[in-house]
Structure formats: C-alpha cells, structure tokens
Amino acid sequence: MSEMWLNMGPQHPMTHGLWNLRVHIDGEVIRDVDPEMGYLHRGIEKLSEDRHYNEVVTLMDRTCYVAGLAWEHLYILASEEALHIAPPERAQYLRVLCEEFQRIASHLMWYAAFVQDIGLMTPFLYGMRDRDLILDLFQSYTGARMTYEYMRVGGVRNDVPPGFTDRARQVLDWLEPRFVEYDQLTLGSDIFHKRCDNLGVLRANDCVTQGVTGPMLRSAGLKRDLRKDRPYAVYDQLDFEVALADTADVTGRYLVRLEEMRQSVRILRQVLDWLDRHPGPVMASQLPRWLGAPYAPVGREGYLLKRNYPKGVGFSAVEEPHGEALAYVVNEGGEHPYRVKFRSPVYANIAAARHYLVGYRVADIPPIMGSVDICVGEVDR
C-alpha cells in the first residue's frame, strides 16, 4: 500500500460531526493532515443581526449543541455589556449553575464519545446514562434538554423550581463516585495507557502559537482558565482549583477533563448553597421595554425609548467546556445587535491538527481527535 490521501469525513465516525479530515498516509503512518471545516455553516453570526437581542439566545443553543448554556452565557455577557445592563446577583449564580452543569454534561458527552473511539463500549453508555441526569435537571427548570433558551439580557428567564437544589445535590452525590468508576474503566486498563500515553503531544508553546485553549492547553501544564484569569459572573467568589496535567498528551487531556468535572461538582455545591440562602429576583428591574418584552409588538413608545438608548460594544470571554470562547457584540442602537462575532475554541483546536497528528498512525486519529473534544456546531457557526 503506497502513499495516499484518505478523506476521513465529512461522514465518518471519527469526526463527531460534519467536517473532513484529509489524511496523507504512508501505510498506517500519517504524513500530513488537512482539516476542512465548513460543512455545518449556518450563518449564525449574520442571522443574529436580524434578531432581537433575546432571540439570538435561540441561536446560541444551536451554536454548540452539547454546551448550549455556556454559549448563551457567553452571548448574554457580551450583549449586557453592550447594552449597559447589570443582572441581579441571583441570576449570575443561576448562570454559573447552568454553565457548570453544562460543563459536566459536555465532558460526560466527551467521555462517552472518546472511550467509544478507543473501542470501550461500556463506559460510553455509563457516560450517557449519567449525562441524562443532568439533562433531566435542565429540563426541570429550563423546560428543554438541549435547546434551553434560558438566559435573557438582564438575567435569566425563570428561577429554579422549589426542591431543585436538593435534586441537584442528589445528582452530584451520584456523580462523584461515578468519576472513580470512570477512572477504573479507563486508566485501570493497560491497553488504555498503551493507546493514549505520549499520543497527540502538543506542548504549551505550540498551544499558545496555535491558539489552542481549554483542556488541551491545561493538559500541557499551562495554568490558564478564564474563570480564574478573567473572572466573569461570580466566579471570583467561588472556591475551586484549575485542573492541570503536564503530559500534553491524550491521557493528560483525559485527566484534566475528569478533574474539571470534579471541580465543577465543587463549584456547584457552593452555588446550590448560595441559592438556598439568597432568594431574590432573577431579572434586572430597570430594563428598556423593548428588551423586557421581546415577543410583544413594539409600539410607538417602545420605539422612542429604543432610539434614545445609549450605544455601546460588549466583549466577553467564557471558559466554555471546549476552551476559551470569545464574543463581541456591537450595539448601534436598535432592537437588533449591529454585529455579533464569536471566537470558537474548537476551530483553533482543530486547525492545529497538523501539529499533533503528523507522525502518528491512522489508528491514533480517533483517540487524538477524540481528546480534542470536537463540537462542529460551534466550529462552523
């Protein structure tokens, strides 16, 4: 078998979405790779310019379908800055609750997909089973399991229902011993170490030059987490550690994500305690009318109010489960954002594929790309 180009994708089990990894192989050895994205482009940034501020939240759920709430948070933070609106503290805690539960759910989804990539079938279903508990929690207060549409400019749509915090604590109590079980199923196996140690190595300086962020960066030993380095919402009031590893390989990324789930549980316990102790409003009281009632017809009065509303730009950076997501929202006056721009962490992580794939084998592609944690929805937007 001589050298050839192999199209892994756009429809391929390894891709976990819709993109194409062109691989130049020599036998089983990878000589070159060429990632091609764009198969899932839906023009979300352009669509956002045509919608009310709160209607864009709907698109955010579709941007990353496994971490919708994190992307809602990202957009809401930027547009609140652009619109000069400050949410109440309880809403901020609720957003952190959303984001951390979403982080666990996303990492569980990643865990399930990743172990499937190296041929482990049982933990795949364990991961999906436990993720379902979190989706049930989401359903209990957002009404949806995947497309939540929960956050609003100025707060969140509704408070959590009575008894929610206890149910959430039950889920956390169930999850914590599961993480030990996950480790036993993967790290306990010699084959796992044979497959994943020293695989897909991307050192910290390469990560920085390629814009690779998130667990991939932290697995290379660089202590960089936006929740600590550029605290948003109420993360500066919460006590947690940044998950780190220094091997820069697939095993390192695995360890970082598992540790992040544990830290998320830790954060969530604090958040749930805070929510129990501090009842209060979840929406800002001083909202312009055209924002407060986004689905009501905008009358003459609302239009006038809107015209006098101050302009502004908003920037936000959120440590999304996949990495650092950035958003930029321009408010030129008017009920729609003038321009919305996102930075997807996964796009940069995939684009650097040449730096961590070349030299390994075809059979290594699924674990390496699996360890990147791909969500094509946010890559193409």
Q: Give contact residues for another protein (rule: CB under 8 A).
A: 1, 4, 6, 8, 12-14, 28, 115-122, 124-126, 129, 185-186, 189, 191-192, 194-195, 361-366, 370
Nearer to another protein, 28 or 332 (CB): 28
Shortest distance (Å) from residue 321 CB to another protein: 22
* Cα 337 from Cα 112, distance rounded (Å): 37
Nearer to another protein, 20 or 263 (CB): 20
Nearer to another protein, 160 or 353 (CB): 353
| Cα 164 to Cα 101, 108, 144, 173, distances in angstroms | 13, 21, 15, 14
Shortest distance (Å) from residue 307 CB to another protein: 56
Q: Which amino acid is at 237?
A: Q
Shortest distance (Å) from residue 214 CB to another protein: 22
Shortest distance (Å) from residue 250 CB to another protein: 12
Shortest distance (Å) from residue 23 CB to another protein: 10
Structure tokens at 210: 């390629």
* Cα 23 from Cα 3, distance rounded (Å): 10
Shortest distance (Å) from residue 65 CB to another protein: 21
Shortest distance (Å) from residue 123 CB to another protein: 9
Q: How far is CA 332 from the centre of its chain?
A: 28
Q: Strands, E, within the chain: which ranges?
A: 3-8, 20-26, 29-36, 151-152, 155-156, 312-320, 323-331, 339-343
* Cα 291 from Cα 51, distance rounded (Å): 12
Nearer to another protein, 131 or 381 (CB): 131
Shortest distance (Å) from residue 284 CB to another protein: 44
Measured from the Cβ of residue 27, the count of other Cβ atoms closer than 10 Å reads 11
**Of 68, 23, 57, 15, whose CA–CA distance to 40 is shortest?**
15
Nearer to another protein, 4 or 304 (CB): 4
β-sheet with 312-320: strand ranges across: 312-320, 323-331, 339-343
For tokens 């089990």, the residue is: 13
Nearer to another protein, 13 or 161 (CB): 13
Shortest distance (Å) from residue 121 CB to another protein: 6
Whether the Cβ atoms of residue 147 and residue 58 lie closer than 8 Å to each other: yes
What are φ and ψ of residue 83, in 5° steps?
A: -95, 0
* Ramachandran category for residue 132: left, alpha or beta (phi over 0 → left; psi -120 to 50 → alpha): alpha
Nearer to another protein, 115 or 272 (CB): 115
Nearer to another protein, 85 or 133 (CB): 133
**The total number of residues written for the chain in this structure:** 381
* Cα 99 from Cα 235, distance rounded (Å): 11
Whether the Cβ atoms of residue 88 and residue 283 lie closer than 8 Å to each other: yes
For tokens 């140690």, the residue is: 197
Nearer to another protein, 86 or 191 (CB): 191
- The DSSP secondary-structure symbol of 236 reads G
